[in-house]
Structure 1
Amino acid sequence: MPPASQDDDAALLRGIAQGREASLAQLISRHGRGLTAIAARYLGNRAEAEDIVQEVFFRVWQNATRFDPARAKPKTWIYSIAVRLCIDRLRKLKLRRLFGLGAGMDAAEDVGDQTPATDQALADRQALALTRKAISALPDRQRMAILLAAVGGLETARIAETLDITPGAVEQLLVRARRSLRDQAALHEGPLR
């Protein structure tokens, strides 16, 4: 499938606003994976991320008639919904852990195949685990900005719209996040570089 364009996404949102389930299916096909990847990395839990993505598309279905292309690009609007849901879910998860109501997030999730591997494969999995741990330790806004840039492929201006901050503030978040990740890499002899 060719890459999604903003015009294609806008047409799909118009179709969704008219009740076309096929338009929703296409939008899910285009953005579901990227949203799941960002949510999983932000929340540290794939099952929670999948729930978030379902909720994102449910809200898109419910609110497509309210989408205003003059205020935001379709991808920005969709990712903004995901960002708000991720932030809310993480707050709830932290509160549940605080009161001992949940098992918490699985930090080792998605580390990879657990079959015996070569030394390089083991080192790669360890580096990936350290990277995920370092990203999860970032402050919420830094974590979301770096994930939107790295995983979502959003440009600074789109991240600014998604997080409802200025592009300069996004740049500062990204600079601080990258610095923190480099510092963590230095502590672990470079696996995060």
Structure 2
Amino acid sequence: MDLIRHGGAAAVAVAAAAAVRADPAGAATERWAERRGRGEVSGTARGSSSGPVRADLEEVFRRDYERVVGVAARVLGARDEAEDVAQEVFLSFGRSNVPAAEARGWLSVAAAHTALNLLRSGRRRASREETAAAADSPVVSDVAEAVVTLEERRRVRAALARLPRKSAVALVLRHSGLSYADVATALDLSLGSVGTTVRRAESALRKELNRHASSD
């Protein structure tokens, strides 16, 4: 698995792109602030409690933004969609009462759940995935090889969407780089059971892939 003109405007666009690459969390913070300014985040976010936006939101946003995007991208394979998921997750966090010490695990799990919901809904645009795959993959001379690679990614994501929710989330978190201890804390598992949970999820994913391959 895995997981985004003209004349004077061109100079502005190049500078903006460089800023995003240099400080992606900072650029995302600016986009979030713009959304607040437009009144898009004045209400209560889905799955969150009412009340003012928490004071530590920007600090947590800057610290954990790339991790949250990375988790979502593991599921979706498209950076732009993963960033949309991250925005939604942080808006929910901003209205929540999640203790700051538990923020990282909560955000990772929320990103995995939100991305899986999007994957299962079938509302994704195939062109986004194809564009992301083309950007992430090395140049290949064999067109057939590129097509097979893209098809394999689609098959894996489709199989992931069919797994039980807890198995899928555990698999995504572990393959997003979270340690066994982080996964255990995030999913309220014992440390000793994380390895078993992840191995069973990997086995279930392989079986799901084989089952659908044999039926094609």
Partner of residue 114, structure 2: 86
Shift of residue 163 of structure 1? 1.4
Partner of residue 53, structure 1: 86
Shift of residue 140 of structure 1? 1.0
Alpha-carbon displacement from aligned partner over 1:145-170 (angstroms, at most 9, x marks no partner):
1111112x112221121112323443
Question: Do residues 37 (structure 1) and 73 (structure 2) align?
Answer: yes
Question: Do residues 137 (structure 1) and 162 (structure 2) align?
Answer: yes
CA–CA separation in structure 1 for the residues paired with 2:108 and 2:68? 10
CA–CA separation in structure 2 for the residues paired with 1:68 and 1:28? 12
Alignment RMSD (CA, Å): 4.1
Question: Do residues 105 (structure 1) and 130 (structure 2) align?
Answer: no
Contact 1:145–1:174 (CA<8 Å) still a contact in 2? yes
Contact 1:24–1:61 (CA<8 Å) still a contact in 2? no
* AA at the equivalent of 1:110: E
Secondary structure (helix, strand or coil) at the match of 1:33 reads: helix
Contact 2:69–2:83 (CA<8 Å) still a contact in 1? no
Shift of residue 177 of structure 1? 1.6
Secondary structure (helix, strand or coil) at the match of 2:178 reads: coil
Contact 1:35–1:53 (CA<8 Å) still a contact in 2? no
Secondary structure (helix, strand or coil) at the match of 2:129 reads: coil
Share of identical aligned residues, percent? 22
CA–CA separation in structure 2 for the residues paired with 1:50 and 1:168? 33
Partner of residue 99, structure 2: 67
Q: CA, structure 1 residues 133+82, in 2 after alignment: closer, same or farther (shift >3 Å)?
A: closer
Question: Do residues 179 (structure 1) and 207 (structure 2) align?
Answer: no
Q: What are the ranges of 5 or more consecutive residues in structure 1 without an aligned counterpart?
A: 2-15, 98-103
Contact 2:67–2:108 (CA<8 Å) still a contact in 1? no
> Where does 1:105-184 land on structure 2 (aligned, <5 Å)?
105-106=123-124, 108=126, 110-111=129-130, 112-113=133-134, 118=142, 119-151=144-176, 153-184=177-208
Give the structure-2-normalised TM-score.
Answer: 0.52
Secondary structure (helix, strand or coil) at the match of 2:70 reads: helix
Secondary structure (helix, strand or coil) at the match of 1:110 reads: helix
* AA at the equivalent of 1:178: E
Give the structure-1-normalised TM-score.
Answer: 0.57
CA–CA separation in structure 2 for the residues paired with 1:29 and 1:68? 15
Q: What are the ranges of 5 or more consecutive residues in structure 2 without an aligned counterpart?
A: 1-21, 23-52, 135-139
Contact 1:28–1:57 (CA<8 Å) still a contact in 2? no
* AA at the equivalent of 2:70: G
Contact 2:71–2:111 (CA<8 Å) still a contact in 1? yes
> Where does 1:18-33 land on structure 2 (aligned, <5 Å)?
18=55, 21=58, 23-24=59-60, 26-27=62-63, 29-33=65-69
Shift of residue 178 of structure 1? 1.4
Question: Which structure has the larger Rg over C-alpha atoms?
Answer: 2
